[in-house]
Amino acid sequence: MGLFAYEDGRGYMRLAIERMTRGRIPIYSFGQQTEGRDILHHLVQQYQLCPQLNHLSACPSGTTGCSCQLSPEEYNDKVIDAVNSLKQSLPSFAVIEEVEDDYPYVRHWNPPIIRKKSEGLFDDITPAYYSVKPSRKIGRHAAFRSCILIEDGAFYGMGYIPDSIPRDLNTLKQYLVPYPDNDYLRGLVTRYAIQHPELVEHF
């Protein structure tokens, strides 16, 4: 499910909770419809949007005094403010953990070929660590950690990072394998982050 924006025949922007379909990019996606309705209720109340235009309920006290009596231009400005505030509030964080002794590795790793995205960064023939970007040598016997990144509320990707790099978004993204956003995985990562706040770094 996702939160989408569209313009109706009268020129008013509407927000709606709909199923995800290929080719449509939502403002935000979520695993359960109740989560989406909670977000939409909050935006309608905070920015005084018309609940009827946003498929929640009838206008309060009819249409008298409701924001749907504004011109499309004035009303749409309020919707744009609501959407921008939602996007700005979406979290960016990484879950970073130490790698256990039985980490995955590539026995005969030959850049730029990586057999699986899940296979790691260690070449035990010439002991050195590499990033997932081909031919980037990090350093011999470098300590590294696993990392899962959520950027602006979306699942960005995961992989391994050396301990020596700065912990900022742009640097982490150089070492991680990007994946399509997935609300199920995002939900798992978010719940894990809540359970283990000591592993979380916010941006």
- Average pLDDT, consecutive stretches of 10 residues, N- to C-terminus, the chain (203 residues): 91 91 80 85 93 86 78 95 90 87 41 38 40 44 78 87 85 86 82 92 92
Distance CA 112, CA 103 (A): 20
Same domain, 30 and 58: yes
Let me know whether 84 and 122 are in one domain. no
Distance (Å, rounded) from C-alpha 67 to C-alpha 33? 25
Considering the domain architecture, whether residues 108 and 37 belong to the same structural domain is answered as no
Residues 70 and 109 in one domain: no
Tokens 């235009």 found at: 53
Largest Cα–Cα distance in the chain?
76
If asked whether residues 164 and 190 sit together in one domain, one would say: yes
- Tell me what pLDDT residue 63 has: 61
Burial of 141: CB neighbours in 10 Å, binned 0-12, 13-18, 19+: exposed
Distance CA 54, CA 44 (A): 8
pTM over 0.75: no
Backbone angles phi, psi at 195, to 5 degrees: -75, -25
| 192 and 113 assigned to the same domain | yes
54 and 70, same domain (yes or no)? yes
Of 44, 72, 89, which residue constitutes the final position of a domain?
89
pLDDT at 30: 78
Same domain, 161 and 139: yes
Domains held by the chain: number: 2
pLDDT on residue 102 = 45
Amino acid in the structure at residue 43? L
Domain with 71, as residue range(s), is 2-89
Statement to judge: residues 60 and 102 lie in one domain: no
Q: Note whether 80 and 112 are same-domain residues.
A: no
> Is the domain of 119 the same as that of 155?
yes
Distant-in-sequence, close-in-space partners of 52: CB < 8 Å, separation ≥ 6: 58, 59, 66, 68
